[in-house]
Amino acid sequence: MQVYEKLYIDGKWVMPSSTTGIEVTNPTNEQIIGKVPAGGTSDVDLAVSAAKKAFPIWSKSSIEERINILNSLSNEIKERTEELAQTITAEVGTPIEYSRMAMVGTPRVVTRSYAKILENFEWEEEVRNSLIVKEPIGVCAFITPWNFPLHQIIGKVAPALAAGCTMILKPSKEAPLNAFLLAEIMDKIGLPKGVFNLVSGHGSEIGEYMSKHSGVDMVSFTGSTNAGIRVSQAAAPTVKRVTLELGGKSANVALKDADPILVGKMAISGCYQNSGQTCSALTRLIIPSEMKEEVCQVIISRIERYTAGDPLDENTRCGPMVSLKQQESVSNYIQTGINEGATLLSGGLGMPDNLDSGFFVKPTVFADVSPEMTIWKEEIFGPVLVIATYESEEEALSLANDSIYGLSGAVWSASQEKAINFAKEMRTGQVSVNGGHFNVSAPFGGYKMSGNGRELGLQGLEEFLEVKSIQL
């Protein structure tokens, strides 16, 4: 069991103001695997004070020092890959190979990418008689989710370090242990005290308090849309910058000239990565009506290979939901889909075969889903794929954009040009064309109720900068 009794504030491990703790449950076997402090508002005050004190020095640190810190951080993440991956799999239930690759490997690459960006970043430019200067925004508060815990932390921490900001992190209470490992790494690489501070606790208490804190210049939140709205409301009186990466209900569109076999194969992984607990998951498959039978047959024939079970088994493709609450929520959506008349192609209610414990649900596929159905409109956040058909590509675009969200999407076509033209019409933050891979150097974020602001790449760095104009 991993038990942490102290918080990381001002470069040292300190006792929290309360003796209350948060237990961490392994969703695979329902056993308690760790405990972290439930920090309070006074702990946040200490962390904000430390970050404010550290800001004048860190904001003036050399680019070379920041590059060295970022490269050291990336190297240490690499050195502790297995420990981090095992921890995240135990906390979240992510299949272990995916943990190694996406949960730890991607944050390592993201961290190094900001070291590279700093090598050529232009901090000043002259525009006629003005000198335009970019400066770090100040003290940042980070509130992060459980589904990609370390990746979502690093997506905020790395660009903030690169920008010269100081920070306070509140990790998810479902998956906080990896954040404490990160704090150990920060301590080891010699980051100046007060630059990075870790306060674990409950979002309803310290998350809201961080958002409204007058000593915080920016809050960056990743999580549900409803919680993001509350963060924005709490931050509004202090008019601080707020960036939000929220929910999604992303469309995966096959144009009429697409390969139906390829579409069917790729639709499964596009929806079910991380057991469907992914904000950018391609959960709505939109296909031509004439392609329906073939695509559905491909999906049915292949979904049985998407094994649900112990995430430490290298053959497992689908782990548990993160909690009993999430298991119940996904199961309720499956029942709603059945009740509203969608055609259940595979999966359904109950535990997967040969499993009698853990927070599992069956990987599920619904066909004949129409836009008025709940499972079409709402983010399920589990391994549930919904399929709708269209007659014209104008209708396909209308279906793709028929969502309050706009985080991700995909288009398939024999013509890349045609697919790109369709992608440009989709109201969403990023679109994969014919299986184009995720790019850590490209901006990530959403339209509409999927949030505002961008993470990753150059745009992710600029979120942490103020722009000053000096007239000469």
What pLDDT, on a 0 to 100 scale, did the predictor assign at position 318? Answer: 95
Residues 126, 52, single domain; the answer is yes
pTM: 0.97
Asked whether residue 366 is domain-assigned, the answer is yes
The amino acid present at 224, given as its one-letter code, is S
Does residue 444 lie in a domain region?
Answer: no
Q: What is the number of structural domains in the chain?
A: 2
In a domain, 339, yes or no: yes
Same domain, yes or no: 259 and 176: no
143 & 271 share domain: no
CATH code at 466? Answer: 3.40.605.10
Quote the pLDDT of residue 307.
Answer: 84
Residues of the domain holding 364? 251-439
Tell me, yes or no, whether 404 lies in a domain: yes
Q: Are residues 193 and 99 in the same domain?
A: yes
290 plus 224 within the same structural domain = no
Predicted local distance difference test score (pLDDT) of residue 360: 98
Say if residue 314 is in the same domain as residue 221. no
| Active site members | 245, 279
Tens-digit pLDDT profile for residues 197-209 = 999 999 999 999 9
Q: Is residue 380 in some structural domain?
A: yes
Q: What is the pLDDT of residues 261-310, one digit of tens each?
A: 999 999 999 999 999 999 999 999 999 999 999 999 999 999 988 889 99
With respect to residue 445, please indicate whether it lies within any of the assigned structural domains: no
Residue 271, in any domain of the structure: yes
Judge whether residue 122 has pLDDT over 90.
yes
Same domain, 173 and 270: no
Q: Order of strands across the sheet with 196-198?
A: 12-14, 7-9, 196-198, 166-170, 139-143, 218-222, 241-245, 451-452
Q: How confident is the model at residue 38 (pLDDT cuts 50, 70, 90)?
A: very high
Give the mean pLDDT of 147-165.
98
Domain shared by 241 and 255, yes or no:
no
Assess whether pLDDT exceeds 90 at residue 354.
no
State what percent of residues in the chain have pLDDT above 70: 100
CATH, residue 339: 3.40.309.10
417, HSE (Cβ side, Cα atoms, 13 Å):
0
Residues 257 and 211 grouped into a single domain: no
Among the ranges given (221-230, 297-306, 405-414, 458-467), the one the predictor scored with the smallest mean pLDDT: 297-306
CA distances from 209 to 42, 43, 45, 228, 241 (A): 10, 11, 9, 14, 15
In a domain, 221, yes or no: yes
Same domain, 280 and 342: yes
